[in-house]
Amino acid sequence: MTSQLTARLLVASGLTLVGVALLAYTAWARHGGSPAARRWMGNEFGSFTRDERMTVLGAPMLGVLCLCAAAIVLPEVGRYLAWLAVPLGLGAFVTLLWAMMTFLPLPGAFYPRWARPLRDRNRRTEQSIHAGLRRR
Ranges of each domain in the chain: 3-135
pTM of the entire structure? 0.84
Q: Is 76 helix (H, G, I), strand (E, B) or coil?
A: coil
Rounded CA separation 136/124 (Å): 19
Q: List the pLDDT tens digit at each of the 136 positions of the chain.
A: 789 899 999 999 999 999 999 999 999 999 988 888 888 887 666 567 777 889 899 999 999 999 999 999 998 888 899 999 999 999 999 999 999 998 888 888 888 998 888 888 878 887 788 787 888 7
Neighbours of 50 (CB within 10 A): 13
